[in-house]
């Protein structure tokens, strides 16, 4: 059996990743990590502050945020059934949304501890 070592240096050189690949009969091959199918973010509000984030996650677009009045979580996926939800003073969700449409969840915000969620499964 032959073994190969691959070392990858990132940027100016402090971080390094190392992997050993074995070739031959009975060699194990590492499976790639599965893509995430859901996620969340903690939203902290300050009086009259507005937070808005837009991220590309799970193959779709997630828009979430909070202000002194509302907390929201909206998710779009062009190919999969999906959904979003938000926890403010109450929990609201918009699940099982067809591909090509936005899921939209909005709830009254609380001073701290609001949370936004997304998922790309039904």
Q: What is the pLDDT along the chain (122 residues), one digit of tens a residue?
A: 333 333 333 333 334 444 444 445 555 678 888 889 999 999 975 554 567 899 999 999 999 999 999 999 999 999 999 999 999 999 999 999 999 999 999 999 999 999 999 999 99
Interatomic CA distance for residues 41 and 94, integer angstroms: 17
∠ at Cα 67 (65, 73), nearest 5°? 25
Model pTM above 0.85 = no
* CATH topology assigned to domain 38-119: Immunoglobulin-like (2.60.40)
Residue 16 CB coordination number (10 Å): 9
Question: Could you report how far apart the first and last alpha carbons of the chain are, in Å?
Answer: 45
Given 3-state DSSP classes, what are the helix, strand and coil percentages for the chain, each rounded to the nearest 5?
A: 0, 55, 45
Q: Which residue has the tokens 């969840």?
A: 105
């Amino acid at each position: 059996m032959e073994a190969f070592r691959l070392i990858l240096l990132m940027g100016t050189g402090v971080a390094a990743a190392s992997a050993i690949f074995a070739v031959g009969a009975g060699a194990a091959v590492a499976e790639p990590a599965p893509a995430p199918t859901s996620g969340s973010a903690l939203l902290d509000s300050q009086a009259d502050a507005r937070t808005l984030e837009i991220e590309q996650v799970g193959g779709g677009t997630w828009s979430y945020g909070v202000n002194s009045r509302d907390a929201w979580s909206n998710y779009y996926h062009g190919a999969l059934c999906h959904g979003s939800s938000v926890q403010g003073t109450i929990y609201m969700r918009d699940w099982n949304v067809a591909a090509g449409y936005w899921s939209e969840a909005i709830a009254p915000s609380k001073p701290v501890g609001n949370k936004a969620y997304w998922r790309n499964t039904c």
